[in-house]
Amino acid sequence: MFRSIAHRLVLVWGWRRCLVAFAAGAASALAMAPIHFLPILFLTFPVLVFLIDGSVAPGRRGLRHLRPAAAIGWWFGFGYFLAGLYWIGDAFLAEGNAALLPLMPLAVIALPAGLALFPMLGVLAARMIWPDGPTRILALALGLGSSEWLRGHIFTGFPWNLFGQAVTFTDVTAQAAAVAGVYGLTFAVIAVCAAPALMGDEDRGQILLRRFLLTLAVLAVGADVSFGLYRLSHAAPTGKSTIENIRVRIVQPNIDQSQKWSPEFRQGTLDKLIALSDSRTDPETLGAVSFRQIIWPETALPFFLTEEPEALGRIAELLQPGTVLVTGAPRIDRSEDGRHFYNSVYLIDDRGNILDAYDKIHLVPFGEYLPLESLAKRLGLSDLFKGIGGFSAGPTRNLIAPPGLPSFVAVICYEAIFSGEVLDASMSKRPDYLLNVTNDGWFGNTAGPYQHLDQVRLRAIEEGLPVLRAANTGISAIIDAYGRIVAQIPTGTEGVLDGLVPSEHPDSPFTRRPLAFQLSFVAFSIILLVLGRRKRMKGS
C-alpha cells in the first residue's frame, strides 16, 4: 500500500502536484503550537520526497529541468507559512487604524509567498544533489535545513516556526536543544521525519543502506527521548529549585491594543498596572510589599518615562525599600543629530530612580522600523507605510544587576526567536536568568502567542537559563532552565503571577559549541551521500 501511494505521488503532475505540495506544507504547520501534532511530519515530509522524486528526469540537466522542483518547494513553503502565520493579519486590526488595512494582504499573503522562497531554495539545492537511492532523505535534510538556517539570518532573519521547533510538544523531546540548538534539531527533524519515504522504495539494490537509514531514524527518536528522560531525571522537580526569598510578581494587565496608545487611556493604564502590582491574591500576600521585584510587560507604559516625573513618583510610592520595578517603555534620546526613539526596558528603584536600561537591538521589520525607508520615500510610497517604524536599534545587549537581586539579560519580544543571540559574548559573566517582556496583544487569541512561548522555552534550554516572561495579554510565565513551565497566566486574562526565580542552571553543550551538532550532521550526511553514490555507480 505504501509503495502504491508513493508511486501515485511520483507520477502526479501539473497543478495537481502543486496542490499536493501546498496541502503537505499546510498540514506540516499542525506540528507547531498550539496543535503540537509532530507525527504529521512523518507523513508530509515523505510526500515532499516523493514529489521531488517525480521532478527528477534521469539524464537530463539544465536550469529548465529544475523548475518542477522549484515549484514543489515554493508551494510546500507557501502552504506551511500561510497556515502557520495566518495570525499576522490580526496585527492590522488590533489598533483599529484604517490606514494600515491596505497592508493586511501584504502580510497575510505576500509574507508567506516571500518566505516560501526559502523552502524553494532548499528543495532546489536538494534536487541538484538528489540521488536515486535511500540517501536522498539526507539530501533533503541538507537542502531544506540549510534554507531554514538562511531564513533565520538573511535580511535580519525571520526564524519563526523552524521545523526543529516541533520537538517542543513535550518537555522530554525538547531537551535535545541543549545539545543541537533549534537549527541542529531542524536538520535532524527533516531527516528523521522523511525516513518513512524509504519504505516506498522499490529498488532492492541498496536494501542494506535503506535499512541502515531507517534504523538510524528510529535510533535518533529513541536517543532524543532517552536523553530527555535522563536529563530531566537529574533535574529538580519543576518549581522546586529556586533562589530563596527572592519573590517576584509578574503583571499581565491585558490592555486592549486599540486603547493602549490612546492619550485618554494613559492614566488608566498606569492606574491598572499599579493596582495589579499591589493586589492581594491570598492571605499571605500583602501586595507589593511582599515582593522584591515586580515586572511589567513590553511598552507597559505608553509614554516617555523620563519625561513623566509624576509617574516615577507613583512608582516610588508603590515600591517598598529594597524592591525594584522592571518595566518596558519607549525611550527618547534627544541629541545633536535629532530625536531617536527606542523600545526599552527600565530598572527603577524604590525612590523612583532609573538604575539601568536596555534598548532593544533586534527590531521588527515593517513593525518597529521600515526597511529601505529612503527608497520608499523616493518612490513616493511613504503614505502607504505611514505609522510604521520610528524606532532605532540599541547599541548592545547588557547585563542588568539590581542591587541584592539576581542579574538578568532583557530580551524584548521579537528578540527571543533568535537562537544563539540572547546573550552577548562580551558580558563579564552569565546572568542568573533571562527576562522576556513582550506584547503579543497584536495577535489576539491566535496561534501566535503560543508559538512565541515555545521559542522562549527553546532559548531557556539552549542557554541553560530560566526565563521570567511578562506579556501584556499573555502568555506570561515562569520557565525553568529545562524549558518547563513552572506557572503561567493564560492569554487574554488579566492577573498577576507570583513566584520565585528558578535557580538551577544545567550544563548546556550548545552554549559552548553552538555549531558542533550542525556541522557534525552536515559532515555525516555528505559522507553517506558520497558513499551511496559510489556504491550505486559500482552496482550499475
ω into 400 cis (within 30 of 0): no
CA 540 to chain centre: 46
pLDDT at 424 over 80: yes
Query: Quick one: pLDDT at residue 379?
Result: 45
Per-domain residue ranges for the chain? 2-234+515-532, 246-361+396-503
| Mean local confidence (pLDDT), 199-211 | 80
- Give dist(CA 281, CA 293) in Å, integer: 16
Query: Quick one: pLDDT at residue 384?
Result: 42
Amino acid type, 210: R
| Mean local confidence (pLDDT), 383-391 | 54
Residue 260 burial class via C-beta count within 10 angstroms: exposed 0-12, middle 13-18, buried 19 and up: buried
Name the residue with higher pLDDT: 61 or 190: 190
Strands 324-335 and 293-295, sheet pairing:
parallel
Output the CA torsion 207→211→217→223 (10° steps). Answer: -150
Q: Could you tell me the pTM of the whole model?
A: 0.92
Query: Quick one: pLDDT at residue 14?
Result: 85
Name the residue with higher pLDDT: 279 or 7: 279
**pLDDT band with cut points at 50, 70 and 90 for residue 261:** low
Amino acid type, 401: A
DSSP 3-state assignment of 434? strand
pLDDT at 442 over 90: no
Name the residue with higher pLDDT: 282 or 61: 282
Query: Quick one: pLDDT at residue 112?
Result: 94
| Mean local confidence (pLDDT), 59-82 | 85
**pLDDT band with cut points at 50, 70 and 90 for residue 382:** very low
Name the residue with higher pLDDT: 294 or 504: 294
CA 414 to chain centre: 8
Query: Quick one: pLDDT at residue 263?
Result: 73
pLDDT in tens, 91-128: 666 555 555 566 677 778 989 999 999 999 999 999 99
Top-confidence range, 60-69, 358-367, 513-522: 513-522
pLDDT at 537 over 90: no
Query: Quick one: pLDDT at residue 333?
Result: 84
Question: What's the chain's average pLDDT?
Answer: 88
Query: Quick one: pLDDT at residue 52?
Result: 95
Active site residues: 298, 360, 413
Query: Quick one: pLDDT at residue 107?
Result: 72
pLDDT at 383 over 60: no
Amino acid type, 65: H
Q: Please give the order of strands across the beta sheet that includes 324-335.
A: 354-359, 338-348, 324-335, 293-295, 242-252, 495-502
Q: Please give the full DSSP string across 289-302, using - where no structure is assigned.
A: GG-SEEE--TT-SS
| Mean local confidence (pLDDT), 189-216 | 88
Name the residue with higher pLDDT: 244 or 41: 41
pLDDT at 387 over 50: no
| Mean local confidence (pLDDT), 407-418 | 95
| Beta-carbon-side half-sphere exposure of residue 351 (alpha carbons within 13 Å) | 3
pLDDT at 58 over 60: no
**pLDDT band with cut points at 50, 70 and 90 for residue 66:** confident
Pick the closest to residue 144 from 131, 127, 168 (CA basis): 127
- Give dist(CA 533, CA 455) in Å, integer: 38
Question: Alpha-carbon Rg of the chain, whole angstroms?
Answer: 25
pLDDT in tens, 43-53: 999 999 999 99
φ and ψ at 118, to 5 degrees?
-70, -50
DSSP 3-state assignment of 319? coil
pLDDT in tens, 495-505: 999 999 999 88
Query: Quick one: pLDDT at residue 335?
Result: 73
Fold category of 246-361+396-503 in CATH: Nitrilase/N-carbamoyl-D-aminoacid amidohydrolase (3.60.110)
- Give dist(CA 275, CA 60) in Å, integer: 71
Quote the DSSP letter at residue 108.
I
